[in-house]
């Protein structure tokens, strides 16, 4: 008969898993994996001739009379079906012992988000409100409900991702419909076919035990311990071309075999990724609207104590929250530990917890001689930081309304944390929000407050909220935010005071003002400009004056030279062809010009009246010269 994938006929014709390094599709015998491949180990049940060796079934009744036969689940060839004939309070349980999963980095060198998967195809054929519950159990968290379905369900497929590596047992529990009006109307139908749950196939991947249904190719590198398809932050181009390519900036890879660029997931707002393995923040936050915040000087972790609570017997206890705002390059540094050894089958059975946000329950000692309190029930409230934004909601996680800013107030910065591990009460895991509010009066480290409406930090046990008031939650000032106040000019130095507004702080400091100096002068700059213009105009006017004065002297010299040269021709003056100064004349003019005595005699020739010297007996005779038209000096 046909076997399940990964199995073959062993000794004594018993079904057994293929040896390591081999695979089988269930139709052929086990074969060796080709070169550059690695077996895809797991459990692959789709043929149900009998229950596999690692599966078991049992019936459990709360009243003691519901289990009427020993058949809880029975194999039916192509499916497995819940037993019939049991009472309404009977729970028919099918368990699968999986064991541990293989290390994720054997197959993928990037970020670990799922060590393996559990998937199954099922159908519920019920006349009333029957219920199928899928549960997970491990050594750290005990039993937790993963998913449940009620009423009639068409054939469907469900996949569960295993987030933590541990030894697991997965169970399916089915309960028939309750005795209500709907069921009484369907009594006739139940006589022909009772309520039942049908499971067609169950697949569990990447397990340590089990067999391989196929071999996975190993592009660009393989190691003896397994297959490493690509390096951190890389993806396989396609299934035909097994070439690794680097993901775009600020993305990370989540899949074991990342085919195509769609395998590269973008980081959340305010986060970045440098190695493609995980997204993180160094507490220097750059938002899309251009605002910048700097939280890196805050403490690496902070302890917040909740209110005092009391049990029914009056025993006092309280919760302590450890918060690591940004961690260390994505690695959490907040730790919560237990100092009591105990055994409990519930969600709190872990020992020490290290995460971004965690919580411990502290019970003060009731005895005076014992000083140290008891720390128990440590649990993670946020394994990873998934986003930093001013929006009050991200990834289905909402900030508490009490912590939202009022009308007219500037938006706060919200840190969103998520822990994907489900619990019986929190099927989708836990989430935490930390609201960073700008308060310059709170100082640098500030203070953390719990909501008044939910004094212990949570209103539903699954979502936790904190308000952190600090001056560092104010955005970094931009250059155009400052108001500049100039001081007096003292000894050529002037102080400039940069005053930041209320909504921002200077870079690298929480101070309100910054001071700088610049050279200055007692004379105002406007007056300096006016003086410079005046001096320039004065120099220009003086230059023009010198220029025209020298030009006038040259003309006067030429004229006198012409008059002097005509004195030896009985008063006849030749017509001057030009008043310009020849080159040799100009040198003569520059060196002394003319004889003042001769010049004086020449001028006297133009006088028509004899002027006496004033001495007795002496005088000058005036001579009148009649000039014709041709003899006139032009």
d(CA 506, CA 513): 8
Contacts of 576-584 with CB under 8 Å at 24 or more apart are: 576/634, 579/555, 581/554, 581/557
Query: Which domain range does residue 227 map to?
Result: 218-294
609, exposed or middle or buried, with CB in 10 Å at 0-12, 13-18, 19+? exposed
Check pLDDT > 70 for residue 109.
no
Question: Is 575 part of a structural domain of the chain?
Answer: no
Q: How confident is the model at residue 479 (pLDDT cuts 50, 70, 90)?
A: confident
Give the number of C-alpha atoms closer than 13 A to the C-alpha of residue 546, restricted to the C-beta side.
6
CA distances from 530 to 181, 488, 489 (A): 103, 22, 20
| Most confident region among 104-108, 131-135, 480-484 by mean pLDDT | 131-135
In this predicted model, which residue has the larger pLDDT, 365 or 474?
Answer: 474
**pLDDT tier at 618 (50, 70, 90 boundaries)?**
very low
Q: Are residues 224 and 159 in the same domain?
A: no
Among 463-467, 504-508, 543-547, 561-565, which range has the highest average pLDDT?
463-467
Does residue 390 surpass a pLDDT of 70? yes
> Do 281 and 332 share a domain, yes or no?
no
> Does residue 563 fall inside a structural domain?
no
Decide if 252 is inside a domain.
Answer: yes
Domain-located, residue 630: no
CA separation for the pair 354, 380 (Å, rounded)? 7
Asked if residue 278 and residue 357 are part of one domain, the reply reads no
- Both 114 and 204 in one domain: the answer is yes
pLDDT above 70: percentage of residues in the chain: 77
Per-residue pLDDT of 81-107, as tens digits, reads: 998 888 887 889 999 999 998 865 433
The SS3 call for residue 558 is: helix
Please tell me the predicted confidence (pLDDT) of residue 201. Answer: 96
3-state secondary structure 96-129: EEEECECCHHHCCCCCCCCCEEEEEEEEEECCCC
Asked whether residue 337 falls in the same domain as residue 441, the answer is: yes
- Provide, for the chain, the percentages of residues in helix, strand and coil under a 3-state DSSP scheme, each rounded to the nearest 5: 15, 35, 50
Whether 146 is covered by a domain: the verdict is yes
Domain boundary residue among 294, 319, 353?
Answer: 294
pLDDT of residue 324: 92
Confidence (pLDDT) at 368? 58
Of 519, 546, 576, the residue that ends a domain is 519
End-to-end CA distance of the chain: 146
**Which pLDDT tens digit goes with each residue over 146-185?**
899 999 999 999 999 888 888 999 999 999 876 544 444 4
pTM: 0.58
Q: List the one residue out of 229, 99, 111, 106 whose CA is nearest residue 165.
A: 99
- What is the CATH number for 425? 2.70.130
Model confidence at 455, pLDDT cuts 50, 70, 90, reads confident
Which of 390, 475, 474 lies closest to 433, judged by CA?
Answer: 390
Is residue 618 in some structural domain? no
**Which candidate, 250, 221, 216, places its Cα nearest to that of 233?**
250
Number of domains forming the structure of the chain: 4
Better-predicted residue by pLDDT, 494 or 64 = 494
Residues 137 and 267 in one domain: no
Q: Are residues 17 and 153 in the same domain?
A: yes
49 and 155 fall within a common domain:
yes
pLDDT digit string (tens) for 264-318? 889 999 999 887 878 899 999 998 778 899 998 898 889 999 888 888 778 888 9
Tokens of 394: 């991200």
- Helix, coil or strand: residue 47: coil
Element (DSSP H or E) covering residue 546? helix 525-565
SS3 labels along 379-429? EEEECEEEEEECCCEECCEECCHHHCCCCCCCCCEEEEEEECCCCCCCCCC
Segment 25-76, tens digit of pLDDT:
888 889 988 766 778 899 999 999 889 989 999 998 877 777 888 889 999 9
Within a domain: 367: yes
In this structure, the answer to whether residues 200 and 117 fall within a common structural domain is yes
Cβ within 8 Å of residue 281, ≥6 positions away = 270, 271, 272, 326, 385, 388
Q: Count the Cβ atoms, other than its own, within 10 Å of residue 250.
A: 15
Q: Do residues 137 and 199 both lie within one domain?
A: yes
Query: Are residues 126 and 86 located together in one domain of the fold?
Result: yes
Confidence check: pLDDT of 193 > 60: no
pLDDT the model gives residue 149: 93
Q: How confident is the model at residue 616 (pLDDT cuts 50, 70, 90)?
A: very low
Is pLDDT larger for residue 114 or for residue 250?
250
Mean pLDDT for 496-525 is 72
pLDDT of residue 8: 86
Which of 231, 266, 294 terminates a domain? The answer is 294
- Cβ contacts of 504 within 8 Å, gap of 6 or more: 474, 475, 476, 477, 478, 481
Residue 80 shares a structural domain with residue 199: yes
* Among 125, 124, 148, residue whose Cα is nearest residue 136: 148
- CA distances (Å), origin 513, targets 372, 472, 485, 499, 503: 47, 15, 10, 5, 13
DSSP three-state, residue 160: strand
Residue 587: inside a domain, yes or no? no
More confident residue, 544 or 618: 544
Give the per-residue pLDDT at 351: 60
Q: How far is CA 84 from CA 16, 128, 132, 218, in A?
A: 30, 15, 15, 48
502 burial level (CB within 10 Å; 0-12, 13-18, 19+): exposed
Q: What is the mean pLDDT of residues 590-616?
A: 45
């Amino acid at each position: 008969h046909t076997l399940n994938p990964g199995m073959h006929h062993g000794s004594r014709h018993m079904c057994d898993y293929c040896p390591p390094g081999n695979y089988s599709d269930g139709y052929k015998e086990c074969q060796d994996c080709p070169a550059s491949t690695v077996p895809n180990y797991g459990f692959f049940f789709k043929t149900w001739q009998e229950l596999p060796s690692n599966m078991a079934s049992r019936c459990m009744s709360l009243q003691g009379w519901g289990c009427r036969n020993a058949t809880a689940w029975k194999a039916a060839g192509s499916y497995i079906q819940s037993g019939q004939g049991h009472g309404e309070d009977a729970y028919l349980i099918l368990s699968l012992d999986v064991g541990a999963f293989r290390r994720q980095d054997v197959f993928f060198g990037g970020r670990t988000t799922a060590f393996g998967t559990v998937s199954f195809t099922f159908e519920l054929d019920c006349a009333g409100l029957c219920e199928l519950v899928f549960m997970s159990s491990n050594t750290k968290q005990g039993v937790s409900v993963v998913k449940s379905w009620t009423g009639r369900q068409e054939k469907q497929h469900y996949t569960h991702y295993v987030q933590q590596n541990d030894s697991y047992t997965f169970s399916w529990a089915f309960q028939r419909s309750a005795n209500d009006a709907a069921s009484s109307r369907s009594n006739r139908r139940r006589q022909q076919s009772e309520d039942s749950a049908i499971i067609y196939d169950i697949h569990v991947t990447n397990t340590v035990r089990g067999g391989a249904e196929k071999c996975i190719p190993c592009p660009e590198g393989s190691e003896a311990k397994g297959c490493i398809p690509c390096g951190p932050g890389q993806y396989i181009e396609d299934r035909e071309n097994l070439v690794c390519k680097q993901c775009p900036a600020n993305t990370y890879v989540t899949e074991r075999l990342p085919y195509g660029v769609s395998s590269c997931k973008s980081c959340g707002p305010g986060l970045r990724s440098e190695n493609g393995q995980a997204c993180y923040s160094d507490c220097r936050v750059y938002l899309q609207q251009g605002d910048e915040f700097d939280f890196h000087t805050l403490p690496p972790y902070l302890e917040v104590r909740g209110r005092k609570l009391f049990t029914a017997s009056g025993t006092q206890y309280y919760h302590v929250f450890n918060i690591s705002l940004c961690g260390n390059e994505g690695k959490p540094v907040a730790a919560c530990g237990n100092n009591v050894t105990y055994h409990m089958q519930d969600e709190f059975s872990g020992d020490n917890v290290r995460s971004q946000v965690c919580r411990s329950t502290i019970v003060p000692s009731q005895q005076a001689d014992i000083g140290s309190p008891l720390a128990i029930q440590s649990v993670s409230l946020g394994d990873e930081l998934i986003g930093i934004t001013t929006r009050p909601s991200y990834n289905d996680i909402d900030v508490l309304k009490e912590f939202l800013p009022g009308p007219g107030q500037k938006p706060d910065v919200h840190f969103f944390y998520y822990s994907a591990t489900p619990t019986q009460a929190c099927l989708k895991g836990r989430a935490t929000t930390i609201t960073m509010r700008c308060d310059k009066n709170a100082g640098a480290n500030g203070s953390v407050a719990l909501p008044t409406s939910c004094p212990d930090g949570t209103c539903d046990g699954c979502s936790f909220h904190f308000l952190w008031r600090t001056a560092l939650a104010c955005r970094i000032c931009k250059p155009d935010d400052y108001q500049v106040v100039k001081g007096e000019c003292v000894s050529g130095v002037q102080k400039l005071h940069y005053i930041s507004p209320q909504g921002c702080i200077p870079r690298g400091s929480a101070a309100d003002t910054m001071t700088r100096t610049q050279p200055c002068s007692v004379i105002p700059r406007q007056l300096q400009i006016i003086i410079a213009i005046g001096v320039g105009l004065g120099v220009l006017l003086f230059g023009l004056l010198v220029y025209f004065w020298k030009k006038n002297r040259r003309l006067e010299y030429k004229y006198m030279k012409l008059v002097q040269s005509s004195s030896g021709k009985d008063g006849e003056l030749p017509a001057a062809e030009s008043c310009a100064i020849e080159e040799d004349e100009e040198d003569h003019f520059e060196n002394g010009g003319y004889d003042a005595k001769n010049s004086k005699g020449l001028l006297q020739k133009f006088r028509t009246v004899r002027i006496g010297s004033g001495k007795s007996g002496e005088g000058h005779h005036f001579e009148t010269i009649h000039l014709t038209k041709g003899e006139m000096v032009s």
